[in-house]
Structure 1
Amino acid sequence: MESEDRSAAEARWLKLTRESLPAVARTRRWPVEADHCFQRIFLDTACDGVWYDRIPGRPAYAHADRALLDRAIALAEAALADEVDLAVLNRRSLTWRRKRTVPLSGS
């Protein structure tokens, strides 16, 4: 039963990020259109930071614990329903990533 639920959650995630969200991105003037960008934004937001600091493996959705995946799906659904500001979530994700990057000495 749980594996079926997990499979359904992963299928929902992929449909949202690969089909549903990219299909409306241009008309909504979102800052991203590619599936991996949507995945980054929602996984980072669900993790409250850069997802690869919390998820041990790739693809991230397949290695995320179920609660985290459910949060990411809920965020994606909220964006699709126009209930969250995708541009704000994208800026926050990019800020987390810039803060995580440490320049090499002498740079």
Structure 2
Amino acid sequence: VRLVVDAILRADGAERKEQLAAWAADEKQVSAYAMNLQQIDNGIVIPPSGWKCAKCDKKDNLWLNLTDGMILCGRKNWDGSGGNNHAIEHYEQTRYPLAVKLGTITADLEAA
């Protein structure tokens, strides 16, 4: 039973596949910042799971800064949901320009 549940949880639903197909049609561009990205060796180890904001322990709407490896929550939405702006505050303090939303990175270049 556990194997079936795990397979269902990992599977992309029809809605997700439609979203990916729409995005696949978009031209993918390389960020100018990515071309010369400097990564800081500051001892931060990024775990493969169990992510949480380094400042508030929030476990959703998380962003990984590609320069220093900080995992921080995203912006607060108009309705009060979302994060606590920690990723944005980190950018304002450091000016490290590249971050990716955790859970959106894929090895499938057609879906990226």
Say which structure is richer in helix: 1
Greater radius of gyration (CA): 2
TM-score (norm 2): 0.25
Which structure has more relative contact order (CA 8 Å, sep 6+)? It is 1
TM-score (norm 1): 0.26
Say which structure is richer in strand: 2
